[in-house]
Structure 1
Amino acid sequence: MTLALICCGGTIDTVYTNDAGFHGIGEPAAVEAFVRAGVVAPTITSLIRKDSKDMDDADRASVVAAVHSCSATQVIVTHGTDTMAQTACAVASSIKEKTVVFVGAFLPAACKNSDADFNLGFALAAVQTLPAGVYIAMNGRLLPATAAVKNYAAGRFEMAKN
């Protein structure tokens, strides 16, 4: 398998402590999810540990560089959902020869009813079957990165309306 996993933080990696209201970005949740599922470990890079609202153009450039420089032709990028589409579009504008799937979660992987494991499994299947391009895989929806928008009211990603 020529698969790489690039982790950028976001809700999927959010952890809570006993301190009321305190949270932070922990270790990449995808690693444990893949171990639980018996997935052969891909190359893993913990690139950024930020809430995606705090990501800037320099962070997006780091993601583009990491995708470009990895030897894998299939890449999963875990990312917070608030700016996932922005980062995915930045990657799509410069990476053409790889299959890149962005994925995250609306609830942290550490939460009982999280969508994280489902989304990660969906992204893993997608990255292995799709042609080269950049996609967003969330909650059973697979969208081209350049056409995906987050619908905050509905709590999902969907196709942008022209």
Structure 2
Amino acid sequence: MRDVLILTTGGTIEKVHDWQTEGLGFEMGGKAQIADLLHNARCYHASLFELMMKDSLDFTDADRQAILDAVLAAEQDAIVVSQGTGTMELTARFLDGEVGKKTVVLTGAMRPHSFGRSDASFNMGGAVIAAQTLPSGVYGVMNGRAFAAADLAKNTGLGRFDVAPDAI
């Protein structure tokens, strides 16, 4: 079985309630929510690297390039990128065709892991399995489905991911 590298970049999956601002934010200097999720799932064959903590709506091409650089520099060829769902399809398309023989799977959550009743554990588990079993390329795993990068699309009206309309 392939060892998996998980690159965390922020997004809803990592957000926590910030008691000072009464809003959502990232726990800086603390452990990533993904670390807690992996611990609870007893997933010890995955390495975790915190690349950044940003809302994906604030991502720039420089951030996506940093993700690509981290993917290319990784020893592992099975990589999960956790990020916000708002621009997941843009990141997938940015990485598509650039990762060589690596399998890269993007995932996230529609509700923060720290809130409970989140889709975070389900999506992360699916992504870890997909990274180990799918052929090289770039994918998104959300809602129990694996999408090729070109097919990935967030349906904000239904609160889920579907096949991109132009891919049908």
TM-score class normalised by the smaller sequence: over 0.9
Partner of 1:12: 13
CA distance in 2, matches of 1:96, 1:140: 26
Post-superposition Cα deviations, 1:97-145, rounded to whole Å, max 9, x if no partner, equal 1111100000000012111011111111111111111100001111001
Partner of 1:99: 103
**Unmatched 5+ stretches in structure 2:** none
Post-superposition Cα deviations, 1:43-62, rounded to whole Å, max 9, x if no partner, equal 22101100110111110100
Structure 2 counterpart SS, 1:82: helix
Aligned-pair distance for 1:81?
0.2
One-letter identity of the residue aligned with 1:121: G
Instruction: Give yes or no for the alignment of 1:39 onto 2:66.
Output: no
One-letter identity of the residue aligned with 2:6: L
TM-score (norm 1): 0.94
One-letter identity of the residue aligned with 1:52: S
CA distance in 2, matches of 1:153, 1:159: 14
Structure 2 counterpart SS, 1:90: helix
**Unmatched 5+ stretches in structure 1:** none
Structure 2 counterpart SS, 1:46: strand
CA distance in 2, matches of 1:125, 1:43: 14
Partner of 2:25: 24
Post-superposition Cα deviations, 1:8-49, rounded to whole Å, max 9, x if no partner, equal 000000010334632212342221111111111422210110
Moved over 3 A (4+): none
TM-score (norm 2): 0.91
CA distance in 1, matches of 2:129, 2:114: 22
Instruction: Give yes or no for the alignment of 1:3 onto 2:7.
Output: no
One-letter identity of the residue aligned with 1:15: V
Partner of 1:78: 82
Q: What CA RMSD, in Å, does the superposition of the two structures yield over aligned residues?
A: 1.3
CA distance in 2, matches of 1:96, 1:41: 23
Aligned length: 162
CA distance in 2, matches of 1:145, 1:37: 27
Partner of 2:53: 49
